Amino acid sequence: MATPPAFPFRPRSYALSAGASVAWLLSAVLVAASDSPPAAPAKAENRSAPVPTHRVVPAHPAELLKSLTNGEAEIECLVTAEGKVTEARVLSASHPRFGEAALEAARQWEFRPGARGGVPVAMRVHVPFAFEISPDQALEIMAGHPLHEEVKETIVPAAQLPSWPSPKKILLPRYPASLKGSGKYGKAVVAIVINKEGRVIRPRIVKYTHEEFIWPALVTAASLQFEPIKAGKEPIYVSMELQYDFKADADKPKDEVKPAAEKKSKPEKIVSVASGAS
């Protein structure tokens, strides 16, 4: 039975919302500004640093996006008295491709030039860029397909079908490495919608016993593939909940996932999550 890959960094949110963004974060702050060429010191109140008027967000390198790699880069450039960027170079980068992407973006920036004594002058500035993949974006990458899909048709609850939908291949979540040796066990329930192609969309955590179970349950549910479900000859959208059991005595649970409505277990303390936009 296949096991989805683990997430390399801790997610900060756990549900894909209707307005979820897949854009990486950009941080651009002028941390240093100096006249170029060097000039005599000027009074602070008579000197102003360049201010960005047009920013270009660097593209997250495709191979680093696929491998869920975050990173950063810092660019030094000369902002001319006309506000143009010249002499840009990479000061530092956590990966060469991040440096290349940041450099390409920085060269397209435009500024209100810095000034000394009210007169525009050329100044050097440092511009840091952060490349961060959001949990929503990471979930889509790991699932291998878009997870947000606008649905204007009726979504049929699985309980109304003659039989529960069964995935083509059973996937089991990994027991969180951070909990190994803790003896903790429990479950996580994920609500999903199966689209007309049999792919999972809109995965959303519903209940969980431990926060660490949330991410592996979401990744596993989002990666499932079903045969298209039909009403007569027409494919339909179907909603259902999946419960994943996590056991402390193994790296992955031995029980196969079953629809939440079919699971029977002893009562245990679980956390319910308020329903978001569907």
75 versus 269: the higher-pLDDT residue is 75
- Is the pLDDT at 273 greater than 60? The verdict is no
E strand spans, 123-184: 123-131, 155-157
Tell me, what's the pLDDT at 277? Answer: 36
Tell me, what's the pLDDT at 248? Answer: 78
**Considering only the top CATH level, what class is 146-272?**
alpha beta
68 φψ region: left (φ > 0), alpha (ψ -120 to 50), beta (else): left
210 versus 256: the higher-pLDDT residue is 210
Whether the domain at 33-131 and the domain at 146-272 fall into the same CATH topology: yes
Pair of tokens at residue 202: 């809109």
How far apart, in whole angstroms, are the C-alpha atoms of residue 16 and residue 107? Answer: 34
Tell me, what's the pLDDT at 175? Answer: 95
Q: How far is CA 34 from CA 37, 49, 57, 110, 126, in A?
A: 9, 8, 24, 17, 10
How far apart, in whole angstroms, are the C-alpha atoms of residue 117 and residue 17? Answer: 50
Would you kindly state where each structural domain of the chain is located, as residue ranges? 33-131, 146-272
Contacts of 144 (CB under 8 A, 6+ apart): 223
User: What is the pLDDT confidence band of residue 260, given thresholds at 50, 70 and 90?
Assistant: low
Q: What angle do CA 191, 196, 197 make, to 5 degrees?
A: 100
Pair of tokens at residue 166: 């069964």
Does an H or E element contain 63, and which? helix 62-66
Q: How far is CA 203 from CA 91, 166, 195, 218, 240, in A?
A: 41, 16, 12, 7, 10
Burial (0-12, 13-18, 19+ Cβ within 10 Å), 32: exposed
- What would the mean pLDDT of 47-62 be, rounded to a whole number? 96
Q: List, for residues 127-160, the tens digit of each pLDDT value.
A: 999 999 999 999 999 999 999 999 999 999 999 9
User: What is the pLDDT confidence band of residue 258, given thresholds at 50, 70 and 90?
Assistant: low
- Is the pLDDT at 166 greater than 90? The verdict is yes
Tell me, what's the pLDDT at 46? Answer: 87
Can the peptide bond before residue 37 be classed as cis, meaning omega within 30 degrees of 0?
A: yes
How far apart, in whole angstroms, are the C-alpha atoms of residue 134 and residue 12? Answer: 8
Does an H or E element contain 62, and which? helix 62-66
% of the chain exceeding 90 in pLDDT: 70
- What would the mean pLDDT of 65-81 be, rounded to a whole number? 97
5-14, 60-69, 256-265: which has the highest mean pLDDT? 60-69
- What would the mean pLDDT of 159-179 be, rounded to a whole number? 94
Q: List, for residues 204-224, the tens digit of each pLDDT value.
A: 999 999 999 999 999 999 999
- Is the pLDDT at 25 greater than 50? The verdict is no
Tell me, what's the pLDDT at 168? Answer: 95
- The yes/no answer on whether domain 33-131 falls in CATH 3.40.50.300 is no
Pair of tokens at residue 186: 């429990």
Q: Which residues pair with 55 in a beta bridge?
A: none
Q: For the chain, what is the mean pLDDT? A: 81
- Judged by average pLDDT, the poorest of 11-20, 93-102, 125-134 is 11-20
Q: List, for residues 224-252, the tens digit of each pLDDT value.
A: 999 999 999 999 999 999 999 999 765 44
User: What is the pLDDT confidence band of residue 266, given thresholds at 50, 70 and 90?
Assistant: very low
- What would the mean pLDDT of 52-68 be, rounded to a whole number? 96
If you search the block for the tokens 């959303």, which residue do you land on?
204
